[in-house]
């Protein structure tokens, strides 16, 4: 794992001349870099579920101090990605079938809310953006490149969540999503699911274009429910 850059030291000598670049470069404190790394490692599968995360090891591999790591761990913990066992330390969350079902239920509620709000509040421009995102997603599905699909899907949701409506929805949704990210990678790779999934998303888009909140709500909910089914099925096998 790559070591972190200590923000301050490399720049202090040239502060006068590169002030603007420096502000941008240093902006992220060490602990949030650690948070990002942990998140990425967990959702990306580098850390297996159930695996212990020993503070010392994390410090060594990232080249930061224990306080920084611990603060980051607290944050990742409250996002649900790790669980801390008293006097034992953190382990990567293991999702039971029930956990996954619960998360998808909540995600469904949030996503449906987002679609509903979007259909009433979004500007025409934003609707156009969403349309573009769906087109993009369609192209991604055709390539069958999981990485591309994931990116396209994220863009779609980013647009949907931003829809000038709810401020806290994006954050919440992302947290929910992060927790099932490993699974999603599995369920997305099924080509059969691809075409169906796309059709569901198109239904959401259609409802939004018609400015029909109720239909958008239902279509969105339906989409998540189907995704949930696939994820749960793949989990049980």
Partner DNA sequence: AATGTCAGATTGACAGACAGGATTATCGAC
Partner DNA sequence: GTCGATAATCCTGTCTGTCAATCTGACATT
- Give which of DNA, a copy of itself, none residue 80 binds (C-beta under 5 to 8 Å, depending on kind): a copy of itself
DSSP state of 85: E
Q: Give 233's contacts (C-beta < 8 A, 6+ positions apart).
A: none
Which of 44, 48, 49, 56 binds DNA (CB under 7 A)? It is 56
Which of 2, 9, 167, 168 binds DNA (CB under 7 A)? It is 9
Rg (CA), the chain: 20
- Give which of DNA, a copy of itself, none residue 152 binds (C-beta under 5 to 8 Å, depending on kind): none
Which of 34, 110, 161, 204 binds a copy of itself (CB under 8 A)? It is 110
* Beta pairing partners, 90: 84
Map residues 172-191 to x or -, x wherever contact with a copy of itself holds by CB under 8 A. x-------------------
Site for DNA in 202-221 (CB under 7 A): none
As given in the structure block, the two tokens for residue 196 are 């169906």
Please report whether residue 31 would count as binding a copy of itself according to CB under 8 A. yes
- Nearest one of 64, 81, 74, 1 to 28, comparing CA atoms: 64
**CA 205, CA 207: separation in Å to the nearest integer?**
5
Cβ-based neighbour number of residue 57 at 10 Å: 12
- Give which of DNA, a copy of itself, none residue 184 binds (C-beta under 5 to 8 Å, depending on kind): none
- Nearest one of 112, 39, 35, 40 to 69, comparing CA atoms: 35
Please report whether residue 30 would count as binding DNA according to CB under 7 A. yes
Residues in contact with a copy of itself by the rule CB under 8 A: 27, 29, 31, 67, 70-72, 74-75, 77-80, 86, 98-99, 101-103, 105-106, 109-110, 112-113, 117, 165-169, 172
């Amino acid at each position: 794992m790559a070591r972190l850059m200590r923000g301050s030291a490399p720049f202090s000598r040239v502060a006068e001349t590169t002030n603007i670049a420096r502000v941008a470069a240093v902006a992220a404190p060490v602990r949030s870099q650690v948070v990002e790394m942990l998140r990425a490692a967990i959702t990306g599968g580098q850390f297996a579920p159930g695996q212990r995360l020993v503070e010392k090891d994390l410090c060594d591999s990232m080249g930061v101090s224990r306080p920084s790591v611990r603060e980051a761990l607290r944050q990742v913990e409250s996002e649900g990605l790790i669980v801390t066992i008293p006097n034992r330390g953190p382990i990567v969350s293991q999702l039971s079938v029930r956990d996954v079902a619960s998360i998808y239920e909540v995600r469904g509620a949030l996503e449906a809310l987002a679609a509903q709000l979007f259909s009433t509040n979004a500007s025409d421009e934003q609707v156009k953006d969403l349309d573009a995102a769906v087109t993009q997603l369609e192209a991604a599905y055709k390539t069958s490149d999981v990485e591309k699909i994931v990116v396209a899907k994220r863009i779609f949701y980013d647009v949907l969540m931003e829809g000038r409506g709810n401020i806290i929805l994006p954050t919440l949704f992302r947290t929910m999503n992060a927790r099932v990210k490993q699974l999603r990678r599995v369920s997305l790779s099924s080509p059969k699911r691809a075409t169906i999934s796309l059709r569901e998303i198109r239904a959401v888009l259609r409802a939004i274009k018609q400015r029909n909140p109720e239909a958008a709500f239902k279509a969105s909910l339906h989409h998540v429910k189907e995704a949930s089914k696939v994820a749960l099925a793949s989990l049980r096998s």
